[in-house]
Amino acid sequence: MKAFVVEKIEDKKYITSVKEIAKPTLTENEVLIKTSYSSLNYKDALSSAGNPGVTKVFPHVTGIDVSGIVVESKSNIFNAGDEVLITGYDLGMNTDGGHSEFVKAPDNWLIKKPDNISLKELMIYGTAGLTAALSINELLNNGLTNGNILVTGATGGVGSISVAILSKLGFDVVALSGKEEQTDYLKMIGAKEVILRKDFDIENKRPIGKEIFSGVIDTVGGNILAEALKQVRYGGVVTCCGLVSSHLLNTNVFPFILRGVRLIGIDSVEASVDKKTQAWKKIANEFKIDTLDKLVNEISLDEIQQSYKDILEAKAVGRYLVKL
């Protein structure tokens, strides 16, 4: 079968290529999926570069997302013909991932395709869409039903989908991005206002600022998250799911003890199947967005490497869909 493979040729040196590899064989409680679609994520790009925090097993097939049809099963849960998806767990990290014609996985990683959504649409959302949905659920579950929500890293996968879903739900979305040339794109997918990173990511020694945002969906971490926390209104909710800016958070307790701000971490990798299933049902129904085709770049296996380069150089916009 064809797959996008990362190989280690010496210490800290890796090469990638599309090549023929052996089709996997199953053991108990595993299924074999004929891949329909996969996607690209920041974690995939890190894996392709040999990042040891993501992948330690080489040669390796990237792709932390996959949707497709079960063609072989040694599972009591799934049968041949079932339409399924996987996001998270170890897929595409140290277990060969979705950038291949067939994917083997344990049955407890799989989710059956919800109604009202296609295998293609599932992968346009992918891990980014799942993370966005889990983040928005936390805002809703903590009492936010209206107001203005700041979305950081707004041109990225999680950011773009968050902007679109929040807009559909009736929130006023403030999109934060370093890409001034993407202002029209952000407004097209639902942003009411766009703030440029250079005007926000500044050294501010004040321990707390004006109350501006009802909530925040942060995808980048670092100083941007620290500054956003200072500007959240009383009782506001902030979610964080990324570290593109930095894994460090230099903040203070004032937003939490003076305004009751809640900071909630979002993990879509090890979240339970039940939690993921409920989020995917929302994505297929009340969270489903009308601008999905505006968010996606469809590519082949042969185009993955250049797309990884764009992601790592912060040139990517929206989502990358890999058609197999």
Same domain? 94 vs 150 = no
pLDDT for 291 equals 83
Over residues 284-303, the mean pLDDT reads 91
Which CATH number fits the domain that encloses residue 189? 3.40.50.720
Residue 284 falls inside a structural domain = no
Q: Residue 224, CB half-sphere, CA atoms under 13 Å: how many?
A: 30
Over residues 49-74, the mean pLDDT reads 95
Same domain? 158 vs 213 = yes
Confidence of residue 206 (pLDDT cuts 50, 70, 90): confident
Structure tokens at 147: 């107001």
Helix axes 273-284, 119-141, angle to 10 degrees: 100
Shortest CA distance to 111 belongs to which of 289, 281, 282, 319?
281
Domain-ending residue, one of 246, 265, 284? 265
Residue 299 falls inside a structural domain = yes
Residue 280 falls inside a structural domain = no
CA distances from 154 to 71, 185, 195, 297 (A): 38, 10, 10, 16
Same domain? 87 vs 173 = no
pLDDT at 202 over 80: no
Over residues 72-99, the mean pLDDT reads 95
pLDDT in tens, 5-34: 999 998 889 999 999 999 999 999 999 999
> What's the mean pLDDT when you consider all of the chain?
94
pLDDT in tens, 144-160: 999 999 999 999 989 99
Residue 242 falls inside a structural domain = yes
User: Which domain range does residue 90 map to?
Assistant: 2-113+292-323
CA dihedral 146, 148, 153, 154 (to 10 degrees): 70
Q: How many structural domains is the chain composed of?
A: 2
Q: How far apart are CA 11 and CA 311, in angstroms?
A: 23
pLDDT for 133 equals 97
Residue 118 falls inside a structural domain = no
Residue 278 falls inside a structural domain = no
Classify residue 204 by its DSSP letter: -
pLDDT at 143 over 90: yes
Same domain? 60 vs 132 = no
Classify residue 24 by its DSSP letter: P
Confidence of residue 292 (pLDDT cuts 50, 70, 90): confident
CA 59 to chain centre: 24
pLDDT for 49 equals 92
- Burial annotation 86-102 (CB, 10 A radius, 16+ → b, else e): bbbbbbbbebbbbbbbb
pLDDT in tens, 169-199: 999 999 999 999 999 999 999 999 999 998 8
**3-state secondary structure at position 207:** coil
Same domain? 89 vs 136 = no
Residue 250 falls inside a structural domain = yes
Which CATH number fits the domain that encloses residue 40? 3.90.180.10
Same domain? 107 vs 184 = no
Q: How far apart are CA 5 and CA 96, in angstroms?
A: 9
CA dihedral 129, 134, 140, 144 (to 10 degrees): -80
Beta carbons within 8 Å of 261's beta carbon, 6+ residues apart? 229, 232, 234, 235, 236, 237, 238, 255
Beta carbons within 8 Å of 90's beta carbon, 6+ residues apart? none
Same domain? 19 vs 141 = no
Residue 287 falls inside a structural domain = no
pTM of the model: 0.90
pLDDT for 107 equals 95
- ∠27-30-36 over CA atoms, to 5°? 130
Confidence of residue 39 (pLDDT cuts 50, 70, 90): very high
pLDDT for 126 equals 94
Same domain? 28 vs 138 = no
pLDDT at 125 over 90: yes
Task: Let me know if 22 is exposed, middle or buried by CB neighbors in 10 A (0-12, 13-18, 19+).
Answer: exposed
